[in-house]
Amino acid sequence: MNRLGVEHLSEGQRVNAAKVIVKSCMNVKSGEKVLLIVQNDEKRKLVGKYLEAEVRRLKAIPTVIFVEDSEMKAEPPERVVDAMMTSDE
């Protein structure tokens, strides 16, 4: 089963989906710092690429951290915690 299903979307659909997520769901504004934590597999990296592009388009400042699935089973890894703590500085 393909849970993300991003491969079948057109370029325009991917861009529009990223716009909805970043603008409407995340409410990102120009000048804000945005931390995107992306699971390190091909589908999620693709989603992360479009989210990062939309954050940049809004003139916000993205930081992208790739994590392995096993790293996010309990507490986030130290490098993610550090990025979370400093993302608003």
**What is the per-residue pLDDT across 8-63, written as a single tens digit (0 to 9) for each?**
888 999 999 999 999 999 999 999 999 999 999 988 999 999 999 999 999 999 99
Domain boundaries, the chain: 30-86
Residue 3 is predicted with a pLDDT of 58
Cα–Cα distance, 68 to 77 (Å, whole number): 10
In terms of Cα–Cα distance, which of 54, 7, 61 is closest to 32? 61
State the residue for tokens 């940049």: 56
- At 22, the amino acid letter reads V
Cα–Cα distance, 47 to 72 (Å, whole number): 18
Cα–Cα distance, 89 to 77 (Å, whole number): 20
Residue 4 is predicted with a pLDDT of 61
